[in-house]
Amino acid sequence: MKITNEHTVAHSAVEMTQVVLPAFTNAVGTVFGGQVMGWIDICAAVSAQRHCRSSVVTASIDSVHFILPIKQGYVVVLKSQVNAAFHSSMEVGIMVIAENPLTGERKQAVRAYCTFVALDESGKPKPVPPLVLLSEEDQRRSKAAGARREVRLQHRKEEIQHVVPVKT
C-alpha cells in the first residue's frame, strides 16, 4: 500500500486471514473466543496505525458479538476499518468471517468495535487526523461510532467513581 496523506475509511481498511489450527480450538473443535479476540486486536491495530501513522494502544474492545462458531480447519477472514476519529482516539470496526475452505461458503461469525489511542514518541496520547467520510455508509458508521463513544465514556465515568483501593 502506498503511504499517502489521505485519511479516508478506505485508506485504513485491513483484511487479514488465519487458518484455525488444532492448537486454536477447544474440546468441541471450534476456535477459542480469546484467540479470535487476539486476531481482532491485531487487525484493528493495523487499521488504527494506518489512519494516524503512529504507535497505538488498545483502549477498549467492546460490543463483541460471537454470532457463529468457527470450526477447526476453517479460514478466518478479518476485515477492519476506522469508523470515526476523535481527539486522540479512533473507533475501529471489525467483521470476522468464517470460510469453509472446501466449499468456499462464507458467513459472518463475529463483529466487534475497538477503540485505540494514538501515542507520540514519549508514549503520551496525541491528536489523530480527521477521518474523511466519502460515502453515506462512512457517515452512518461515523455517527454510530459517536453514539457508542458517548456510552463508553459514560461507563468509564461510572467505573472510575466505583474504583476500590486494592490492599497489598
Write the pLDDT tens digit of every residue in 22-31: 999 999 999 9
| Whether pLDDT at 1 is above 50 | no
Can you give the pLDDT at residue 38? 97
* List of residues 6+ apart from 138 with CB closer than 8 A: 8, 9, 131
Write the pLDDT tens digit of every residue in 103-144: 999 999 999 999 999 999 999 999 999 999 999 999 999 898
| CA geometry: angle 64, 91, 127, nearest 5 deg | 150
Number of neighbouring beta carbons within 10 Å of residue 106: 13
- Indicate the range of 41-45, 59-63, 96-100, 118-122 predicted with least confidence: 59-63
Q: Which one, of 16, 137, 122, lies nearest residue 79 by Cα? A: 16
> pTM above 0.75?
yes
Number of neighbouring beta carbons within 10 Å of residue 127: 12
Can you give the pLDDT at residue 156? 77
For residue 25, list its beta bridge partners: 31
* List of residues 6+ apart from 27 with CB closer than 8 A: none
| Whether pLDDT at 66 is above 50 | yes
Write the pLDDT tens digit of every residue in 78-93: 999 999 999 999 999 9
Mean pLDDT score across all residues of the chain: 92
Can you give the pLDDT at residue 164? 77
Task: Give the type of residue at 156.
Answer: R
Can you give the pLDDT at residue 3? 45
The domains of the chain, with CATH numbers, are: 10-161 (3.10.129.10)
